């Protein structure tokens, strides 16, 4: 599902079937950036723009509830400005280096370490069991008939 309500650019492209289509960003495709890059503070990298193909990075709308420098008064957007520059949709992903991303990575790393540790413990038990069986088989006294 593409989200055309994430991008600030409202340019529409006319399709072969006569419909128009705006810039579309994948869900959670907008990432936090410096406001000198995009006034909204969010940008969709080129690989997060699903339409048009081979698009450049696109500035995103502001997140609802945050100050929006695209509005004349960033802390008090008018109704018209909100419709044009602010969105409540699923446009925003986690910024790289944010605490939420770091916590997720830490949890994944600890799960990975736990599973490797578990595999190592099982591996050593299997080796010990094989060595024990091998020792018992070879050290049995042979009976002569």
Helix (H, G, I), strand (E, B) or coil at 25: strand
Q: What local confidence, expressed as pLDDT, does residue 95 receive?
A: 56
Q: What local confidence, expressed as pLDDT, does residue 109 receive?
A: 55
List b or e across 112-123, with b for residues whose CB sees 16 or more CB atoms inside 10 angstroms: eeeeeeeeeeee
Q: Which two tokens stand for residue 112?
A: 């990975």
Helix (H, G, I), strand (E, B) or coil at 29: coil
**Distance of alpha carbon 22 from alpha carbon 12, whole angstroms:** 4
Q: Is the pTM of this model over 0.75?
A: no
Could you read off the pLDDT tens digit of each residue along the chain, which spans 145 residues? 456 689 888 777 777 787 888 888 999 999 999 999 999 999 999 999 988 888 889 999 999 999 999 999 999 999 999 999 999 899 998 755 444 444 444 555 555 566 778 888 899 999 999 998 888 877 766 666 6
Q: Which two tokens stand for residue 9?
A: 């650019």
Instruction: Give the gyration radius of the chain's Cα atoms.
Output: 29
């Amino acid at each position: 599902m593409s989200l055309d309500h994430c991008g600030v650019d409202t340019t529409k492209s006319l399709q072969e079937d006569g419909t128009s289509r705006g810039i579309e960003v994948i869900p959670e495709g907008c990432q936090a950036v410096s406001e000198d890059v995009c006034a909204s503070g969010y940008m969709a990298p080129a690989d997060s723009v699903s339409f048009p193909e081979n698009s450049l990075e696109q500035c995103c709308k502001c997140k609802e509830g945050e100050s929006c420098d695209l509005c004349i008064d960033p802390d008090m957007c008018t109704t018209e400005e909100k419709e044009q520059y602010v969105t409540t949709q699923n446009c925003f992903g986690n910024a790289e280096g944010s605490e939420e991303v770091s916590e997720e990575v830490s949890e994944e790393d600890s799960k990975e370490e736990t599973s490797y540790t578990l595999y190592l413990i099982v591996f050593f038990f299997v080796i010990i069991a094989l060595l024990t069986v091998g020792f018992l088989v070879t050290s049995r006294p042979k009976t002569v008939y």
